[in-house]
Amino acid sequence: MDKNSKIYVAGHTGLVGSAFVRQLKSQGYTNLVLRTHQELDLLRQDEVECFFEKEKPDVVIDAAALVGGIKANSMAPADFFYVNMQIEQNLIWTAFKNKVKKFLFLGSACMYPKECSQPMKEDELLTGLPEITNEGYALAKVCGSRLCSYLYKQYGADFISAIPANAYGIGDNFDPEHSHVIPALLVKYTKARKNGDPSITLWGTGKALREFIDTDDMADAGIFLLNNYSGYEPVNIGTGEEISIMELSKMIKKITGYQGDIVTDPSKPDGMMRRLCDNSKINSLGWKSKIKLEDGITKLYKWYLEQTQGGKDNE
């Protein structure tokens, strides 16, 4: 990929797509092609075909998807399956037909089997069933990844896929109904500090271990893979830094300045006790995570305050 390659970032208004745009620009890639959902509905094959025939991008980064939490996924498996299958099939196949030189498909760690050994290695895909609550989404994502692999195997097309860990970052969703754990905790602790609440209750034992990656770090890894990887297997993107939910809470308590106690409620579910990507493949290719969790969350909190309070952490 050279600096004036024509790069189409699908889903550039989203959490991950917007990070790719930031990183590409900061690394000197300026020839970007962007379309909002309104300008190009990726569910419409005819529209996708017209777009590729007109624009002829050299490189495609697929960060467009229907994404949601456990509740949304478990209530609408048909939507999550259909929409994601349709977007990825339209994008991948049309890109292939239009001789796109390099394609990066973004999967998700939920593609791995529920009973996967930890840390999760790329060759464990399809060795078991995914978690039932997001099965529709996970199956669609596995299919997208495999379509890239098959194009590589059958036609030698340079279509690759990556499996990033849980992401957080600028542009994250802070709506309590839809937010991931890090923005949810940032809001919770900020409110508790303002209300002077003596304690905060954490669901579960706090012992479950998780891995989180800053979206700028993830995008940096994706660009690295575009430049340095070709192959059948997907590649995990993670930090290798594991943290318990309790330690994460303490970190967020410190960042938000909350002074009260953290109390656990072990009657509530922990979810999986460990969920970590094996990053040996991307590390051996030469990429290592650059953004420490505490630094990334501090940056995100600053951004959140700028959006909500003009940057001031009002008491």
**Residue 211: closest CA among 118, 146, 75, 125:** 118
Q: How far is CA 47 from the centre of its chain?
A: 26
87 binding ligand NAP? (CB under 6 A): yes
CB of 193 to ligand NAP, least distance (A): 26
Could you tell me the two tokens for 44? 């419409």
| 304 annotated active-site | no
Site for ligand NAP in 199-218 (CB under 6 A): none
| C-alpha distance across the termini of the chain, in Å | 48
Contact criterion met (CB below 8 Å) for 268 and 229: no
Nearest residue to ligand NAP on Cβ basis: 14
CA 236 to chain centre: 11
* Tokens at 285, concatenated: 């290719």
Nearer to ligand NAP, 113 or 260 (CB): 113
Q: Tell me which of 29, 112, 137, 168 is the catalytic residue.
A: 137
Q: Find out whether 8 and 103 touch, Cβ atoms under 8 Å.
A: no
Considering only 98, 166, 244, 264, the residue that binds ligand NAP (CB under 6 A) is: 166
- Residue closer to ligand NAP by CB (options 66, 248) is 66
Which of 21, 32, 167, 226 is the binder for ligand NAP (CB under 6 A)? Answer: 167
Residues β-bridged to residue 103: 60, 159
Euclidean distance between CA atoms 242 and 309, whole angstroms: 31
Interface region with ligand NAP, contact rule CB under 6 A, candidates 63-71, 151-159, 238-246, 291-299? 63-71
Stretch that binds ligand NAP, among 10-18, 72-80, 223-231, 274-282 (CB under 6 A): 10-18
11 binds ligand NAP (CB under 6 A): yes
Supply 46's token pair: 């005819």
Closer Cβ to ligand NAP, 16 or 202, answer by number: 16
- Residue 259 in tokens: 């002074």
Catalytic residues: 137
- Give residues in contact with ligand NAP (CB under 6 A): 11, 13-17, 37, 41-43, 63-67, 87, 106, 108, 164, 166-167
